Amino acid sequence: MVLQRVVKPKTQQGKRFLEKREPKLIENDKQAMFIKGGNTSIVVSQALRELYVLKKHNAISYKRKNILRPFEDETPLEFFAKKTDSSLFMFGSHNKKRPNNIVLGRFFDSHILDMVELGIERFVSQAEFPGGKCSEGTKPCLMFAGETFEQDVEYQRLKNLMIDFFRGPVVSQVRLAGLEHVIMVTATGGKILLRNYRVLLKKSGSRTPRIELEEIGPSLDLVMRRTKLASEDLYKRSLKQPKTIKPRKKKNVSHDAFGSKLGTIHMQKQSLDKLQTRKMKGLKAQKRKARPEEGQSSAKRSKDDDTSG
User: What is each CA distance from 306 to 44, 295, 300, in whole angstroms?
Assistant: 135, 17, 10
Q: Which residues contact 262 (CB under 8 A, 6 or more apart)?
A: 253, 254, 255, 256
> Please, is 214 exposed, middle or buried when counting C-beta atoms within 10 Å of its C-beta (0-12, 13-18, 19+)?
middle
**Which CATH architecture group holds 29-170+177-235?**
3-Layer(aba) Sandwich (3.40)
Single-letter residue type at 2: V
- For 38-42, 183-187, 226-230, 266-270, which range has the lowest pLDDT when averaged over its residues? 266-270
Mean pLDDT of the chain: 85
pLDDT for the residue numbered 297:
52
Range name among 49-58, 187-196, 257-266 with the lowest pLDDT average = 257-266
What's the rounded Cα separation, in Å, for the pair 21 and 13? 13
Determine the Cα–Cα distance for residues 157 and 125; give it in Å rounded to an integer: 27
Lowest mean pLDDT among 5-14, 30-39, 88-97: 5-14
pLDDT one-digit tens code per residue, 60-99: 999 888 999 999 999 999 999 988 889 999 999 999 999 9
Comparing CA positions, the residue from 85, 238, 109 lying closest to residue 161 is 238
Instruction: Report yes or no: 101 and 117 within 8 Å, Cβ to Cβ.
Output: yes
pLDDT of residue 259: 79
Q: What average pLDDT does the segment 199-226 reach? A: 90
Instruction: Indicate the DSSP class of residue 38.
Output: S
Please tell me the distance from the alpha carbon of residue 175 to that of residue 201, in angstroms, as a whole number.
13
For residue 309, the model assigns a pLDDT of 46
Mean pLDDT of 140-152: 93
pLDDT (mean) for 262-273: 80
pLDDT for 177 equals 78
Taking the domains of the chain in order of start, what are their residue ranges? 29-170+177-235
What is the rounded distance in angstroms from the CA atom of residue 224 to the CA atom of residue 161?
Answer: 14
Tell which residue, 148, 188, 152, 185, has the closest CA to residue 166: 185
Is the pLDDT at 247 greater than 80? The verdict is no
Ramachandran bin of 234, using left for φ above 0, alpha for ψ from -120 to 50, beta for the remaining angles: alpha
Report DSSP state, residue 233. Answer: H
- Three-state DSSP at 43 gives helix
Tens-place pLDDT, residues 270-299: 777 777 777 666 666 555 544 555 555 555
Is beta strand 32-36 parallel, antiparallel or unpaired with respect to 59-65? parallel
Distance linking the first and last C-alpha atoms of the chain? 130
Higher-pLDDT residue of 43 and 28 is 43
The helix/strand/coil state of 156 is helix
Measured between alpha carbons, how far is 6 from 26 in angstroms, rounded to an integer? 26
What pLDDT does residue 174 have? 80
Which residues have CB under 8 Å from 263's CB, separation 6+?
Answer: 252, 253, 254
Q: Which residues contact 42 (CB under 8 A, 6 or more apart)?
A: none
Quick one: pLDDT at residue 292?
54
- The residues pairing with 36 across neighbouring beta strands, listed in sequence order, are 65, 92
- The most distant pair of C-alpha atoms in the chain lies apart, rounded to whole Å, by 146
